[in-house]
Amino acid sequence: MFDDFFIRALVAGIGIAFVTGPLGCFVVWRRLSYFGDTLAHSALLGVTMAYTLDLNIAISVFLISSIIALLLIQLQKRTNLPGDALLGLLAHSSLAVGLVVIGFLTFIRFDIMGLLFGDILAVTTDDLLVIWTGGALILIVLKLIWKPLLASTVNYELAEAEGLNPDRAKAIFTILMAAVIAISIKMVGLLLITGMLIIPAAMARNISDSPQKMVLFSIIGGLLSVILGLYSSLEFNTSSGPSIIAAALILFILSLFKIKQSIKLKN
Amino acid sequence: MNSNNNILVKLNNAGFRQSEKWLVEGVSLTVEKGKIVTLIGPNGSGKSTTAKIALGIYKNIEGSVEKYTTKVGYVPQKISIDWTLPIRVYDFMLLTETIEDSAIDEALSLTGVIHLKNKNLGSLSGGEFQRVLIARAISKKPELLVLDEPVQGVDYTGEIALYELIKKISDTLNCGILLISHDLHMVMTATDHVVCLNGHVCCSGSPLDVAKNNEYKALFGEKASQILTTYEHKHDHIHSDEGEIKKN
pLDDT tens per residue across all 267 residues of chain A: 666 888 999 999 999 999 999 999 999 999 999 999 999 999 999 988 888 888 888 899 999 999 998 888 888 888 888 888 999 999 999 999 988 988 888 777 778 888 888 887 788 898 899 999 999 999 999 999 999 999 999 999 999 999 999 999 999 999 999 999 999 988 888 888 999 999 999 999 999 999 999 999 999 999 999 999 999 988 888 888 899 999 999 999 999 988 766 655 554
Q: How many CB atoms lie within 10 A of CB A231?
A: 14
Domain with B231 in it: what CATH number? 3.40.50.300
Domain with A62 in it: what CATH number? 1.10.3470.10
Using CB atoms, which residue from B52, B95, B97 is nearest to A154?
B95
Interacting residues of B188 by C-beta distance below 8 A, sequence separation 6+? B207, B211, B227, B228, B231
What is the distance of C-alpha A170 from the center of its chain? 16
Number of domains within chain B: 2
Task: Decide if A140 is inside a domain.
Answer: yes
pLDDT tier for residue B138 given thresholds of 50, 70 and 90: very high
B62 and B82, same domain (yes or no): no
B59 and B97, same domain (yes or no): no
Query: In residues, how long is chain A?
Result: 267
B40 and B10, same domain (yes or no): yes
Q: What is the domain range of residue B94? A: 78-141
User: Which residue of A29, A80, A154 to mutate against B (max B Cβ within 10 Å)?
Assistant: A154
What is the average pLDDT across B29-48? 90
Using CA atoms, how far apart are residues A17 and A14, in angstroms rounded to an integer?
A: 5
Using CB atoms, which residue from A31, A158, A210 is nearest to B87?
A210
B83 and B64, same domain (yes or no): no
Using CB atoms, which residue from A157, A159, A211 is nearest to B85?
A211
The burial of B175, by beta-carbon neighbours within 10 Å (0-12 exposed, 13-18 middle, 19 or more buried), is given as buried
Number of domains within chain A: 1
Residues B135 and B107: beta-carbon distance below 8 Å:
yes
CA angle A217, A221, A227 (to 5 degrees): 145
B22 and B67, same domain (yes or no): yes
Task: Decide if A135 is inside a domain.
Answer: yes
Task: Decide if B225 is inside a domain.
Answer: yes
- Residues in chain B with CB shorter than 8 Å from the CB of A218 are none
The alpha-carbon gap from B129 to the nearest alpha carbon of chain A, in Å, equals 14
Task: Decide if B48 is inside a domain.
Answer: yes
Examine the fold and report which residue of B94, B123, B141 is the final residue of a domain before the chain moves on: B141
Task: Decide if B155 is inside a domain.
Answer: no
Task: Decide if B160 is inside a domain.
Answer: no
Task: Decide if A266 is inside a domain.
Answer: no
Identify the contact set of chain B against chain A, taking CB-CB distances under 8 A.
52, 55-57, 70, 72-74, 76, 79, 81-82, 84-88, 90-92, 95-97, 120, 146
Task: Decide if A129 is inside a domain.
Answer: yes
The alpha-carbon gap from A165 to the nearest alpha carbon of chain B, in Å, equals 10
Using CB atoms, which residue from A160, A205, A211 is nearest to B91?
A211
What torsion do the CA atoms of B75, B79, B81, B82 make, to the nearest 10 degrees? -150
Using CB atoms, which residue from B73, B87, B96 is nearest to A159?
B96
B177 and B240, same domain (yes or no): yes
pTM of the model: 0.87
User: Which residue of A25, A143, A155, A158 to mutate against B (max B Cβ within 10 Å)?
Assistant: A158
Q: What is the domain range of residue A46? A: 5-261
Whether the predicted pLDDT of B1 surpasses 50: no
Task: Decide if B161 is inside a domain.
Answer: no
Mark B34-59 as b/e (b = at least 16 C-beta within 10 Å).
Answer: ebbbbbbbeeebbbbbbbbbbbebbe
B191 and B129, same domain (yes or no): no
The alpha-carbon gap from A148 to the nearest alpha carbon of chain B, in Å, equals 7
Task: Decide if B125 is inside a domain.
Answer: yes
CB contact under 8 A, B85 and A209: no
